[in-house]
A and B are shown apart, each in its own frame.
Chain A
Amino acid sequence: MGMLRIISKRGDDRLFWNVQDAQAGDAEATAAIQEAERIFAKARAKGATAFRVEPGKPVERLEQFDPQASEIIMVPRVVGG
């Protein structure tokens, strides 16, 4: 299972997808991945930064959506205070 978390004023919005099901031809699973990719791109266009967070691995900045990632966290645009 993959999860996209988008930090927002609501805490975080979450989207889930299943790569195995999508690879097996499940239309809903494919649509879920496409939706996650669309939201990823939209957030990036608004200035958000994405990070791949995997248990036991260093956090990594992500430039493009990766459906193989188990968890992606999107941080909203930040500014110097």
Chain B
Amino acid sequence: MNIEMLMALLGEGILLLLLGAFIFGNSFKRPEAKRRANELLCAVLTPEQYSQLTQRGHIDIPSPSDPERIYRVPKYPGRVQVREKGRVTMWLCLQPYDWVPDADVVVIHKLMIEADEETYLQKANQITPFSFDYNVAH
């Protein structure tokens, strides 16, 4: 074995070690991130909303601009239902650009809907029942 091969092997070994440390470190950080995110969620939601989230898997956030509209935000990543008079009128898709814990995503939806509904609706991709049927049919 010559010196170049030895150096190449050593380099690969160091790279593998660094990759392992990165993956190992992240897998330990995520539970802590989730715990902190749950703390924030608990602080931001009303007791009724928190109870609804744990029991039904979603929270209903009333629209600040339309008393007949609610936004049904799921506990886990997914589409937000827009419901008017009990019927789904639209689905919304909005997510953080970078990964954050699921509980933080719920906080993001709540804050944006309650404080800046217009921007929220502008940024979210909107899927109406008609467009959904159209996409399925074609």
Contacts and interface: CB of A to CB of B under 8 A. Distances in A.
Interface of A: 5, 7-12, 47, 49, 51, 53, 58-61, 73, 75-81
Interface string B1-26: 00000000000000000000000000
B95 A78 contact: yes
Interface string B66-96: 0000000000000100000000000001111
Band of interface residues on B: 20 to 34
B112 A11 contact: no
A9 B98 contact: yes
Main secondary structure of the interface of A (DSSP, over half): strand
Given A59-B111, A81-B94, 18 more contacts: A8-B98, A10-B36, A11-B33, A11-B34, A11-B104, A12-B36, A12-B104, A59-B110, A60-B115, A61-B116, A73-B111, A75-B96, A76-B108, A78-B94, A80-B94, A80-B123, A80-B124, A81-B79
A62 B89 CA distance: 30
B101 A11 contact: yes
A49 B112 contact: yes
Main secondary structure of the interface of B (DSSP, over half): helix
Interface string B32-51: 11111101100010000000
A26 B99 CA distance: 38
Nearest to A74: B111
B35 A80 contact: no
A81 B95 contact: yes
Contact of A10 (B33, B96, B107): B33
A66 B33 CA distance: 27
Nearest to A7: B104
